[in-house]
C-alpha cells in the first residue's frame, strides 16, 4: 500500500502530482481522497473545496484512463458528503496546521467503510442519480 505524504512539502508535491495528472492510479486510494479533501477544505473552505475536488478528481480519472460514467469514476454525492464530514471534523478539532488536520482526517475516517449507511437509506455508491448530482442524506443530517 502506498504511503501518504506527512509533511507540508510532501503534501504539496502530492497535490501537485494529483492536480497535474501525474499521480499514479495506484496512489489514488480512499485515504488519498480523504487527505486531499482535508487539505482542500483546510486551505479553501467548504464550497471551494467541493469545486476543486470535483474538477480535479474528474481530470485525474481521465489522466489514468478511468472513465467518469454513470457506473464508475467521479461520484458527486460521495464527494460532497465527504467534504461535509471533513468540514464538521475541522470545526470540532479547532485550529491546527493543514498536515495535522489531514493526518487526523485519514486516521478518523479511513477505516470507516459503513459511514454512508448512517446517512443514506439507499445504496449510495450504486445510485446513478447520486453519482450525477448531490443528494442530501435521508437518514441523518451531516451538520
List, for residues 27-61, the tens digit of each pLDDT value: 999 999 999 999 999 999 999 999 999 999 999 99
DSSP H or E run through 118: none
Q: How many CA atoms lie within 13 A of 120 on its CB side?
A: 16
Given a cut of 60, is residue 1 above it in pLDDT? no
| Of 27, 43, 25, 20, the residue nearest 99 (C-alpha) | 43
Domain boundaries, the chain: 8-132
Confidence of residue 88 (pLDDT cuts 50, 70, 90): very high
Amino acid at each position: 500500500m502506498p504511503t501518504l505524504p506527512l509533511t507540508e512539502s510532501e503534501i504539496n508535491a502530492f497535490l501537485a502530482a494529483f492536480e497535474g495528472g501525474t499521480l499514479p492510479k495506484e496512489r489514488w486510494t480512499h485515504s488519498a481522497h480523504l487527505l486531499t479533501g482535508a487539505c482542500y477544505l483546510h486551505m479553501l473552505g467548504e464550497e471551494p473545496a467541493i469545486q476543486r475536488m470535483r474538477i480535479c478528481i474528474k481530470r485525474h480519472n481521465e489522466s489514468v484512463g478511468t472513465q467518469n460514467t454513470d457506473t464508475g469514476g467521479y461520484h458527486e454525492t460521495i464527494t460532497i458528503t465527504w467534504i461535509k464530514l471533513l468540514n464538521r471534523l475541522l470545526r470540532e478539532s479547532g485550529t491546527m496546521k493543514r498536515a495535522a488536520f489531514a493526518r487526523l482526517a485519514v486516521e478518523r475516517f479511513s477505516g470507516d467503510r459503513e459511514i454512508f449507511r448512517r446517512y443514506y437509506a439507499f445504496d449510495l455508491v450504486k445510485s446513478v442519480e447520486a453519482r450525477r448530482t448531490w443528494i442530501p442524506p435521508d437518514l441523518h443530517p451531516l451538520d
